Amino acid sequence: MDILSVLHAIGVVVCLVLALTGLIPVVAAAATFVVIPFHAWVNHYGKAAPYLPRVAIIVPAWNEGAVIGASIDRLMMLDYPRESLRIYVVDDASTDDTPDVVRDRAEQYPGNVHLLRREQGGQGKAHTLNHGIAKVLEDDWMEALLIMDADVIYTPESLRRMTRHLADPDVGAVSAYISEGSRDRNYLTKFVSVEYVLSQPAARRAQNVLGAQACLAGGAQLHTRENLLAIGARIDTSSLAEDTITTFETQLLGKKVVFEPHARVLAEEPRTVDALWKQRLRWARGNVTVTARYSKVWFRPSRLHHLGDISFGIVWFSLWLLPLIMILSSVGLAGLLFLQDEIATTVFRVLWITAALAYLFVLILGSQTDGKTTRHELGNVLLFPGIVNMLVMLTALFPPVMLVWLPGLFGVTLSEPALFAITLAIYIWIPFSMVVAWLARKAEKVRAGRWLSPALIYLAGYGSLLCAITFDSYLKELAGAEARWDKTEKVGRVAAG
């Protein structure tokens, strides 16, 4: 065998390995959802019991005058003993009427609502929370602490459903289901709504079964006093992922973190690609910090917690590295096309047929966890992968139909060079779809952006948008860009729960 044959064989093997890495996130997602039905038997409800501790609610607020009043009113309507509730709004030096609105509610609900004013603000949510936590811990009244966002609306039974888990002394914290609750949803908030169904009542149920929660929802996390003290009586201020770090620290100390899918909290989510990009970029960069900080935890099983379990690590890294995996897989497919096109065709079909079946499985099972939202947003559920991705899936399932019969309907016969070019375009579509999602962000700023930006997202897919944002976080980290807390603007679109 000559040197060229050896190099060719090595190239084929390398490209094959790269291409098949695309199976990792697909299989990991499907395997996670396989676990969900076991939540009917493997859950915490056996140790839960009616329990109504004294709860201090800390609400960090900066220029939240449009939403804070309604949030307080809804909290006072909770199905919970009023004498066991105290609401502490920590005003982070707001320049609007936030403090006036809170003072008005303090008069309306004497003894239940308190304003804590920071004269020097702008340091981020974690610093604001710590100011409130320090005040609450000055006496021993508080038995449990609820951290929430200023704009969220708690449904009446939500807190009671969360506190019942604290009847078990082994539980350190509980999280609720954050649901997109805008009255006038647009195309993007509908996609967010579908995403939240798949990532919370679906995926976090699976995490309950596996015994390791990735993140307490920042707008709905309930801690016991003991757990709060154990993790240092403060929220981490060194990263943009303070809620994830709090979740990890709780579990590393041997306490359980429980997701309560029946405690529903309504939130207003970003309505533009640019606003969503800034929000998710903050989350993604925070996850970089978490991944590095807990480097000695990954893939190291422990009797004290399940964060080091192999299954949890695979799920974490398959999501965190998803854009990179998709790029490597596409590079591998393209390489195979040039080196060994028959193998490339087989691998392409395996990858995309597996992805199609996995998505169908995830979609059907995930939709059962919140049937109401799924039915309401059925169009966006079906278009969640993106129109082009759906066409690629159909090409993998029925190549003669998509590449021969369909063009034939229009009197077109593809030549060998044209077929090769189309095949190459299909193989490298995933990385290109992230570019299309990036263009959707840019398109919002032009006159035609009102229709062009949504059209690009529908073509590329909402998942490609999230991958593009994660990839941007890689670039920001490599460039050493400043990690800033960009507040998402809220204007009070949340419907009453």
Q: What is the DSSP string of 163-178?
A: HGGGGSTTEEEEEEEE
Using 50, 70 and 90 to split pLDDT, how confident is the model at 370? confident
* Residue 86 forms part of a structural domain: yes
Q: Is the pLDDT of residue 427 over 90?
A: yes
Q: 440 and 344, same structural domain?
A: yes
What is the pLDDT averaged over residues 95-103? 87
* Residue 278 forms part of a structural domain: no
Using 50, 70 and 90 to split pLDDT, how confident is the model at 485? low
Query: What angle (nearest 5°) sits at the alpha carbon of residue 75, between those of residues 71 and 80?
Result: 170
Return d(Cα 434, Cα 247) in angstroms, integer: 30
DSSP 378-408: HHHHHTTT-HHHHHHHHHHH-HHIIIIIHHH
* Residue 231 forms part of a structural domain: yes
Q: 340 and 296, same structural domain?
A: yes
Domain termination site, one of 271, 303, 338: 271
Q: 217 and 151, same structural domain?
A: yes
- Range scoring the smallest mean pLDDT among 120-134, 177-191, 293-307, 432-446: 120-134
Q: 408 and 335, same structural domain?
A: yes
* Residue 194 forms part of a structural domain: yes
Which H or E run includes 355?
A: helix 341-367
Q: What is the pLDDT of residues 350-361, one digit of tens each?
A: 999 999 999 889
Q: What pLDDT is stored for residue 419 in this prediction? A: 85
DSSP secondary structure code for residue 96 in this structure: S
Q: What pLDDT is stored for residue 122 in this prediction? A: 62
Q: 55 and 5, same structural domain?
A: no
Q: 106 and 29, same structural domain?
A: no
Return d(Cα 493, Cα 185) in angstroms, integer: 9
- Range scoring the smallest mean pLDDT among 184-188, 264-268, 406-410, 490-494: 490-494
Using 50, 70 and 90 to split pLDDT, how confident is the model at 496? low
Q: Is the pLDDT of residue 487 over 60?
A: no
Number of domains in the chain: 2
- Give every CB contact of residue 135 below 8 A, 6+ residues apart in sequence: 88, 116
Query: Which CATH number characterizes residue 222's domain?
Result: 3.90.550.10
Q: 47 and 22, same structural domain?
A: no
- Give every CB contact of residue 482 below 8 A, 6+ residues apart in sequence: none
Q: What pLDDT is stored for residue 398 in this prediction? A: 86
Q: Is the pLDDT of residue 137 over 80?
A: yes
Q: What pLDDT is stored for residue 107 in this prediction? A: 93
Using 50, 70 and 90 to split pLDDT, how confident is the model at 136? very high
Using 50, 70 and 90 to split pLDDT, how confident is the model at 181? confident
Domain termination site, one of 271, 298, 332: 271
Handedness of CA 258, 385, 28, 246 (dihedral sign): negative
Q: Is the pLDDT of residue 328 over 80?
A: yes
Q: What is the mean pLDDT of the chain?
A: 90
Return d(Cα 151, Cα 69) in angstroms, integer: 9
* Residue 404 forms part of a structural domain: yes
Using 50, 70 and 90 to split pLDDT, how confident is the model at 165? very high
Q: Residue 43 — φ and ψ, nearest 5°? A: -150, 180
What is the pLDDT averaged over residues 62-84? 90
Q: Is the pLDDT of residue 492 over 60?
A: no
Q: What pLDDT is stored for residue 124 in this prediction? A: 73
Q: 37 and 174, same structural domain?
A: no
3-state secondary structure of 269: coil
Q: 93 and 180, same structural domain?
A: yes
Q: Is the pLDDT of residue 98 over 60?
A: yes
What is the pLDDT averaged over residues 387-409? 83
* Residue 23 forms part of a structural domain: yes
Q: 293 and 156, same structural domain?
A: no
* Residue 166 forms part of a structural domain: yes
Q: What is the pLDDT of residues 111-132, one digit of tens each?
A: 999 998 877 666 678 888 988 9
- Which is more confidently placed, 457 or 383? 457
Q: 37 and 53, same structural domain?
A: no
For 211, what's the count of Cα atoms within 13 Å in the CB-facing half-sphere?
16
8 A C-beta contact, residue 253 and residue 230? yes
**Residues present in the chain in total:** 497
Domain termination site, one of 217, 247, 271: 271
Structure tokens at 409: 């309907």
Q: What is the pLDDT of residues 206-262, one digit of tens each?
A: 999 999 999 988 889 999 999 999 999 998 888 888 899 999 999 999 999 999 999
Q: What pLDDT is stored for residue 480 in this prediction? A: 84
Structure tokens at 161: 């459903």
Q: Is the pLDDT of residue 7 over 60?
A: yes
- Give every CB contact of residue 242 below 8 A, 6+ residues apart in sequence: 125, 126, 129, 218, 235, 236, 286
Q: What pLDDT is stored for residue 123 in this prediction? A: 67
- Which is more confidently placed, 340 or 483? 340
- Range scoring the smallest mean pLDDT among 153-167, 459-473, 479-493: 479-493
Structure tokens at 28: 């990991």
Range of the domain at 126: 43-271
Q: What pLDDT is stored for residue 490 in this prediction? A: 54
Residue with the two structure tokens 């038997």: 41
Q: 431 and 412, same structural domain?
A: yes
Q: Is the pLDDT of residue 414 over 80?
A: no
What is the pLDDT averaged over residues 38-48? 95
* Residue 277 forms part of a structural domain: no
What is the pLDDT averaged over residues 202-209? 94
